[in-house]
Amino acid sequence: MPPEELFLLHWPPRLREAAIRGLIWAFVGLLYAFLFVSFSVFAEVRELPVHPYFFAGVMAGTISALMYSSMRLVVVMSTLLFPLSIIYFTQFGSEIALFDWFKVMLPAGILIGGVYGFLSTNSRIKRADSKTLAGFSVGVLVSLAYLIGEYLFADPSITWIVAVMCPLTGALYVLVVPTFIRLYQDVLPPTGDGMLLGACIAIFVSFCSFVMAGSIDTSMAGALVPEVGAILERLPPALLGGLLGAGLGGIVSGLVLTDWQDL
């Protein structure tokens, strides 16, 4: 079918914009949900002296913003590192040494990211520092709002928590990130931005692969069996919340905003 016959192209421009943004935000919502569940489980199992959902909201907002700062590098590194992770994990039939794999993946991510930042002419990689600070700040605000809302709503499900916190984080991020870029985009050189993002992607890809392997056989997680088991239990409703909440948020954003921010 010729491109001009595609159904989406016959939509009014504003609806087409809303649909595209809804798809993009829905993808980010899935990423946010995975991070939120992983960090909240880690805080609970390790008994960190902080509210698990506050910690998860801050970390998910920060890392989502960092990875969103250069989706091109995320795609490049994921294409390179995911197959390596799968090959590594499939070689171990009983127990996986995740932190040993981090020792391999982390330097590789830092190296690839640093080279990419050094060679890149794309201004977005040069703004990873300011976007990360914006994501952290918004994550703190939204997580504080959750702590307040926790007293108003009794035991909300993780689906509703992610469905509200994720698009709220995204909306506030869009509002504040131009200011952060104006003030803090030179905190790190482009090479440093690339190294920071590369390290984050390497750890994220490794852990995603680890959870995928654990979903096949939980015993493969070794000492991290409690964490992986809890993540797998909470992940489906959280992913649903991220998909629906962020997707609807993106649609609203596309209907309200006039154009994309070239950041």
pLDDT at 5 (0 to 100): 44
| Short-list 203, 223, 225, 214, CA closest to 97 | 223
* Residues 6 or more apart whose Cβ sits within 8 Å of residue 10: none
Residue that the structure tokens 């979903």 belong to? 215
The angle, 0 to 180 degrees and rounded to 10, between the axes of the packed helices 225-256 and 13-45 is 160
Q: pLDDT by residue (tens digit) across 55-84?
A: 999 999 999 998 887 778 888 888 888 888
Distance in angstroms (rounded) separating the CA atoms of residues 197 and 30: 19
Please tell me the distance from the alpha carbon of residue 206 to that of residue 201, in angstroms, as a whole number.
8
Distance CA 131, CA 51 (A): 25
Contact 192, 130 (CB under 8 A): no
Q: How many angstroms separate the CA atoms of 154 and 192, rounded?
A: 44
pLDDT for residue 221 is more than 70: yes
Q: Are 85 and 209 in contact (CB under 8 A)?
A: yes
Closest CA to 20 of 262, 239, 253: 253
212 pLDDT more than 90: no
Q: Report the amino acid identity of residue 14.
A: R
For residues 244 and 160, what is the distance between their CA atoms, to the nearest angstrom? 10
Give the whole-angstrom CA distance, residue 55 versus residue 39.
Answer: 7
The pLDDT tens digits for 157-211 are: 999 999 999 999 999 998 999 899 888 877 888 889 889 999 998 999 888 888 8
**Average pLDDT over all residues of the chain:** 84
What are the tokens at 3?
């491109």
